[in-house]
Every structure is written in C-alpha cells, then in structure tokens.
C-alpha cells in the first residue's frame, strides 16, 4: 500500500469522514489529512482525539492545496459547500462526496465545479446508528460496498486512483449510474429507514401501551427497528427530500403489499401469509452467503 | 435452586421448548423432561442431541404422569393439542403454553381443560430467527421478560411455583390480562414482523433491482429486516390470524403515520421529518438503559 493523495480535505467530521480518516491512516493513503466542520464543538472534539493531522477553522483553509476534497456533509448541504469551496479548489484536484443519494448531489454540486477540477460522486454503503466525530472507526468500510456514479467523460486515471482509495480503505467498489443507484438505495436503505422510523414513532405515541412497556418488551422484535430509527435525523431528512421519487415509488409498492397482507389477515387467508413468509427466508440466506451479515442468532448480540 | 416439577412434558420441540429443556437442566428444575413432536424427524434429532431425558412417539405418553405440561406448538395448533391430551392429564397438573398471542390460545385451550387441572398461559418474549430442535440454548430467556396472563381464580400457589420456574430459567416475570398482552405484542412484535416480511418481499419482487443487488447492498439497513423476515412461517401465520384485531389496529396507526411522512416527503416538509426522526432516538436509549439491547454500533456484529 502506498500514499495515493498528498493532502486530503475532509469537509464535515461525522461518522463517515471520521472512519475515512482512520482507514486512510491504517493504510497510509494520505500525506496529510486536514479536517473542517462547521461546528466549533465538533472541531474541538476532532482535535482532542487527534482525528486528523490538522483541523482548521475555515473551510477554504481545509481545501487549500488538497488534491482530494471529500464532501462529508448531509446531502442537503452539498450544493452550498461546493459553491463556497469552488474558488479555493486546486486545479487538477478531485472532489468527491459520500452522500446517500446521488442524483440530487450531482445536480447540486456539478454547476459549481471549476474547469480542471474533477468530480466523482461516491457512496460507501456502511454506517452505524451513531454519529459525530467520535463514532468513526477504521474497520467501517471493510468488505462493505462503495458505489461510484461517475459522470460522462470522467478521466479514467483519476477514477482508477480514487477507486483504489476505497479498496485500500477496505471496500469493494462498484460503478453504476446515479438514477439506478438512487432506486437500489431506496430499496435497500431509504424505505427500510422510513418504515423503522414510522414504527418506532407509532409505538412511542400510543396511549394504551406505555413507553415503559414498549421498552421492557422490545426484545420481541421491535428493538431491531429502534437501532435504525436512532440514526442521524438531519442526514435522513435530507436523504428523503433528495431521493423523493424513488422513495415514493418503493413506498407505493410497499403499501400495496402491506395492504394485501392486511387483507389476508382480515379474511383469514393463512395460505397467502404462509407463502409470503416462506419466500422471504431465502434472501436472508443469500445475504449471509455473500458475507454481508453474520450467521448467528439475533446478530450474535447478548444483552445482559 | 431446587427441583420444581417431577416430570415436565414438552409438546413440540422447537426453539422455545428446546431452550426450556436446556434452561431447566441448567438449574435442575425438573425431575424428568419428556418430549414429543408430531414430526418423526424432529423426534429423531431431539434423541440424537439428547435434548430431553426421553422422547416419546405418542403425545399421550408424554403427558402421562407429568405435573407440568408445556404446549410449545404454533398458536393455531393449541386447541387440537389440548383436546387430544385432555383425557391423559394428571389431576393437579399444570398446563401452560408459550404462544405469542394469549386471547386466542385461552379461547382454544380452556374448554378442554378437565376439572382439577390448572391452566396458566405464558409467553416468553425471547427468540431468534432460527427454529427447530437444534436451535434452542439455555441462555435464551436470561434477562428477557416472560408474560403470564393468569385467568380469574388461578390457584396462587400453582402460579407462584410456575413463576419461579421462569425466573429460575433466567426470565423476569410480569403478569397482565390477555387483551392487554395482545395489544402490547401487536406493537412490540407482531406489526414489526409483518412490516419486515413485507419490505423483504417487496425487495425480492422488484424487476428493476436485481436480487443480487439487494443482497450485495443490504448492509445499508435492509439486512436488519431480513433477520426478522427469516422467522418461522407457520408460527407467524398463526400469530397474525390469532391476533387479528390488535394487529389490524396497530397496522392502521402505522399506515396513518407512514402516509403523513410520505406526504411530508412529497411536499418537501423537512421540519416534519426532522422532528419525527429526532423523537424516535430516545426510545433506543431507553431500551439500552433497560438492558434489553447492547449499546454497540450495528449490534456489535462484524460480518467478514
């Protein structure tokens, strides 16, 4: 493994940026890592834990002389950040992002990119329910997929080097176009998150079942939903607003199926239910065989 | 710890019965554990792994001389099993069950109970996505709740001894009435399971996103749903048919909230989304503080 970039600027210092800092250090991929966050508190924490080589108080200082600039902010903030850093970008620099939606980010960032600056959107499919500068760790990307959605005319050498960065941070890398990315993620991530948030909200809101009952008896299945529904609210607000069309499409399919199952319950159609529930077991098997989850009951957790 | 029952009959030898066998042995709670399953294959496996002291080929032989008879079959089979064993039940014996719904089980079982036989419905809120006689383990009930829904006029001494059994198998025990149990479980278990099954079915069914994409990119949130949706289809079919009213009520609340969030996405109401997502974080904290889940990102799993 060898250094791939002289200076990497991390704009935003949350879970993904923090994990990138750790993973780049682990493999010696960056000459210098410079970090910036809008929040003074986050910058202080990042300095305290030595997350980056330098943490700066000004976004333009972070970008100065960087040959890789990573936009690690919520999707809704990408356009404003791109506009602000544009004048300070070094010719030949690569700008990338780690946003969970790609169509909206491309639309927001591309118009601000100066000639001679490269832009390759990226989305590492990795995360936890935690957030903030302390939540990152070097192993986050290990054997997880990172999806790149390169634009037409992307320089193959710039792309190849960037792909190598993600691989050396532990990821498998795939390429696809932005609309397909947004549809796939609506299925594997965005709609599941919305549903989990909804279910947890409903449980919290019922008058006839108390909060303490929900908490005590959560191990019956509900606690899995609460993990997802503990994710960063700002990030997820922006995801749904940015991937509106695909999310609404998958939600439409979801409610259609849910109503069919609801009808089967109401009419006592046990065969429909049994067939549906049998069908869904195979996918779990596929995920375990693909190494994307562990084959241990209850995810191997042992709560005391 | 001391022996509480001379002979325990386990009718059905799946995850819960198997875990009970292990947990009763761990604490020396039963003089003898006799097992029966309708499936010859299951009986063979149970014998092979020494799950019980004896495995018998006839349900009435299992019940013979048992002072505790545990009905560990799907909810829809409880009535027929109760009818079949009734003539063989020992006077003074306690019959209990581990079904996930209580109102329907009480309705199905009670009419068959002979005079002088006690019946106390139970529901251990513990499980994994696995099933069958090999899936049980002694620790399953440790620090999980077991809900008892005793009927009016239940003998206090019989109840107290039975409560002690669950406590010595590792559980915390609570009592409530059956309708409240069924509502609470509709929130913490039944509706979440139905939703997870639905989401996994939708993902598997889309033409424009391939199964292999769903599997590869599942770590973005979806894989959590697939664990729940890998649960036993027969058990869950019966749960929904048996707890129809409460499940449909909570589903109604769920779709109401989902449509409100869907509308917020469509109209771009970021404030509604952000408020909702902020609200749901607190419940996760409560569950962790109550010791009902571990406080480690991604449930502490490290998939390769």
Q: How big is chain A, counted in residues?
A: 304
My answer on whether B172 and B186 are in the same domain is no
Assign residue B102 the CATH number of its domain: 3.40.50.720
Q: Is the dihedral of CA B213, B218, B221, B227 positive or negative?
A: positive
What's the pLDDT score for residue B302? 60
Assess whether A196 and A160 both reside in one domain. Answer: no
SS3 A253: helix
Spatial separation of the C-alpha atoms in residues A92 and A157, rounded to whole Å: 12
Comparing alpha-carbon positions, the chain A residue that sits nearest to B238 is: A270
Taking the CA of residue A271 and the nearest CA in chain B, the distance in Å comes to 8
Predicted pLDDT of residue B304: 42
> A40 and A71 share a domain?
yes
pLDDT band at residue B300 using 50, 70 and 90 as cut-offs: confident
Contact A55, A48 (CB under 8 A): no
Q: Looking at B132, B159, B176, which one is the last position of a domain?
A: B176
Beta strands across the sheet bearing B54-55? B54-55, B30-36, B5-11, B68-71, B94-97, B118-124, B145-148, B172-175
Range of the domain at B27: 5-176
CB contact under 8 A, A208 and B126: no
pLDDT score, position A304 = 42
Q: Based on the domain organization, do B229 and B191 belong to the same domain? A: yes
B228 and B113 inside one domain: no
Determine which of A178-187, A207-216, B269-278 has the lowest per-residue pLDDT on average: A207-216
More confident: A83 or A210:
A83
pLDDT at A68 over 90: yes
Q: Model confidence over A1-12: pLDDT tens digits?
A: 589 999 999 999
Confidence grade of residue B74 (pLDDT, cut at 50, 70, 90):
very high
Partner-chain contact B280 A247, CB within 8 Å: no
Asked if A161 and A131 sit in the same domain, the reply is: yes
Q: Return the pLDDT at A220.
A: 85
Question: Residue A302 has what pLDDT?
Answer: 61
For the stretch B261-288, pLDDT in tens is 999 999 999 999 999 999 898 889 899 9
CATH number at residue A262: 1.10.3660.10
Residue B90 has pLDDT above 80, yes or no: yes
Q: Which residues of A touch B302 (CB under 8 A)?
A: 139, 294
Per DSSP, the three-state class of A241 is helix
Residue after which a domain boundary falls, among B176, B209, B235: B176
Residues A202 and A268 in one domain: yes
Q: Which helix (H) or strand (E) holds B120?
A: strand B118-124
| Closest residue, chain A, to B271 (C-alpha) | A237
pLDDT value at position B1? 59
Asked whether the beta carbons of residue A215 and residue B258 sit closer than 8 angstroms, the reply is no
Distance to chain A for B137, nearest Cα, Å? 11
**B245, B287, B302, best to mutate vs chain A, most A CBs in 10 Å:** B287
Q: Which of A78-87, A196-205, B32-41, B92-101 has the lowest mean pLDDT?
A: A196-205
Closest CB to B198: pick one of A145, A238, A258: A258
| Whether residue B157 sits in one domain with residue B12 | yes
Render pLDDT for B192-246 as a digit per residue (tens, 0 to 9).
999 999 999 999 888 888 889 999 999 888 999 999 999 999 999 999 999 999 9
Contact A300 B298 (CB under 8 A): no
Residues A108 and A161 in one domain: yes
- What DSSP letter does each residue of B97-108 carry, written as one string? E--S-SHHHHHH
Select from B160, B176, B192 the last residue of a domain.
B176
Question: B114 and B208 share a domain?
Answer: no
| Together in a domain, A190 and A169 | no
| B50 vs A281, residue with greater confidence | B50
Q: What angle do CA A136, A137, A141 make, to 5 degrees?
A: 100
Whether residue B185 sits in one domain with residue B73: no
Number of folded domains that form chain B: 2
């Amino acid at each position: 493994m060898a250094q791939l970039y002289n200076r990497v600027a991390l704009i935003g210092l949350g879970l993904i940026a923090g994990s990138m800092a750790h993973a780049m250090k682990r493999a010696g991929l960056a000459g210098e890592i410079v970090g910036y966050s809008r929040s003074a508190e986050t910058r202080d924490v990042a300095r305290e834990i030595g997350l980056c080589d330098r943490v700066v108080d000004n976004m333009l200082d972070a970008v100065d002389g960087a040959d890789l600039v990573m936009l690690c902010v919520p999707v809704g903030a990408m356009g404003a950040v791109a506009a602000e850093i544009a004048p300070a970008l070094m010719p030949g620099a690569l700008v990338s992002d780690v946003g969970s939606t790609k169509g909206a980010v491309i639309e927001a960032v591309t118009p601000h990119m100066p000639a001679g600056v490269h832009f390759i959107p990226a989305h590492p499919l990795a995360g936890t329910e935690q957030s903030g500068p302390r939540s990152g760790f070097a192993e986050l990307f290990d054997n997880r997929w990172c999806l790149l959605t390169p634009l037409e005319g992307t320089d193959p050498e710039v792309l190849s080097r960037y792909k190598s960065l993600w691989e050396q941070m532990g990821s498998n890398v795939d390429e696809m176009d932005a609309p397909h990315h947004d549809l796939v993620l609506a299925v594997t991530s965005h709609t599941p998150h919305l549903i989990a948030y909804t279910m947890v909200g409903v449980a919290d809101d019922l008058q006839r079942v108390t909060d303490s009952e929900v908490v005590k008896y959560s191990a019956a299945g509900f606690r899995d939903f609460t993990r997802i529904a503990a994710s960063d609210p700002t990030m997820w607000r922006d995801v749904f607003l940015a991937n509106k069309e695909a999310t609404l499409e998958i939600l439409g399919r979801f409610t259609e199926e849910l109503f069919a199952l609801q009808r089967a319950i109401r009419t006592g159609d046990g065969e429909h239910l049994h067939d549906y529930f049998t069908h869904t077991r195979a996918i779990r098997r596929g995920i375990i065989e693909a190494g994307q989850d562990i084959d241990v009951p209850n995810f191997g957790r042992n709560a005391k």
